[in-house]
Structure 1
């Protein structure tokens, strides 16, 4: 049996990426962390992105925090998704930071959200709190592109949310806006403010916002592919 090793280079094809991701299925996070020489945090309170970092290491992801896809050479984004014992997502999925200024003439076709969701490698990970972090197992990966219907849902929500941002109504947007996509604050603390457009076109300071996929959208996506 071959020894499991992290990819030492960015994957050169979707097939290579899927092969490596499939090898990880069934392993616990502590097994993968030990093999990769990565320390395991006690919990995810201060290390929210740790699982993503661990899987990026194993899969040869190259983007880091750059605005391109995680596997830029093959145009694929990596999304880890914590699931319960029935395979249902436990939280919303972060897509990207929302631009709050300079949005004149932006269109869905060239948007960052569409670019990030064009091709996604979903890696489910056990996420129930009762399971100690190190004992949580990695699930079967899924390579996904939005169907025409999913793309239409995403486009509609994106356009609605971007209209509100452009019209200076960013402070009025709640998590209830959008059918499948939502906009909500994304900041480490309430002092991290960024510039946005106010109701009268003036510059205001507000919390940075991020686009997130709602749980029913990702739940339906996983259920359809894994026949849950």
Structure 2
């Protein structure tokens, strides 16, 4: 892995250096093999970018560049520049959530400053030939933060009330809560509306494509 950049400017400079390069070119430099597809290697693109940019957090619940307060997010885009999938933010807490505020939340911490790396995501482009796009360093505007906060508070209120099983992907305008597990056996504890503990799938917070599309439109238009 390349050394961790010490400044925001250095991180951006490094992100611009890989813009326009293919996964094959980046993988060759990193000594990594390009998988045939991402079905079994969902996190491969993230790992490749982390190697080149010097991100240190890995799967820890903190920002990828913790000293700089910056989170790294790759975003697969279509030929027209629209996001092709929702963006995972972090795992949602299902227990010990009484009194938790937006200001203390992992979601707010992770999204306080994001280095977005758009990448080609159309299925017919072979993985090795897909290119990395121009980077974008984003901080939520007051309006964007208000939208995220409203969704987070609505979803967390349902969790606190023991209604996690009633939450669907339709809840939330910008942020949604969805099951996040490698398989259906990976269960975690939650509480029902009567306060009884039960086992359920872990949940994750995801940014909707409409929300990330607006970010990309504003900065790349």
The TM tier, using the shorter chain, reads over 0.9
Is 1:44 the counterpart of 2:38? The answer is yes
Deviation at 1:35, TM superposition (A): 1.3
The structure 1 residue matched to 2:159, chosen from 157, 165, 169, is 165
Is 1:207 the counterpart of 2:201? The answer is yes
- Show the counterpart of 1:3: none
- Show the counterpart of 1:73: 67
List aligned pairs for 1:179-194, cutoff 5 A.
179-194=173-188
- Structure 1: gaps spanning 5 or more residues: 1-5
Deviation at 1:36, TM superposition (A): 1.1
SS of residue in 1 equivalent to 2:67: helix
Deviation at 1:23, TM superposition (A): 0.7
Per-residue CA shift, 1:8-50, capped at 9, x if unaligned? 3111111000000001110000110011111111110000000
The alignment's TM-score, normalised by the length of structure 2, stands at: 0.99
The structure 2 residue matched to 1:96, chosen from 90, 104, 110, is 90
CA-atom RMSD in angstroms: 0.6
- Show the counterpart of 1:125: 119
Tell me how far apart the structure 2 counterparts of residues 31 and 203 of structure 1 sit (CA, whole Å). Answer: 50
- Structure 2: gaps spanning 5 or more residues: none
The alignment's TM-score, normalised by the length of structure 1, stands at: 0.96
Structure 1: 4+ residue segments shifted above 2 A = none
Deviation at 1:175, TM superposition (A): 0.3
Per-residue CA shift, 1:174-211, capped at 9, x if unaligned? 00000100000000100100000112111010000000
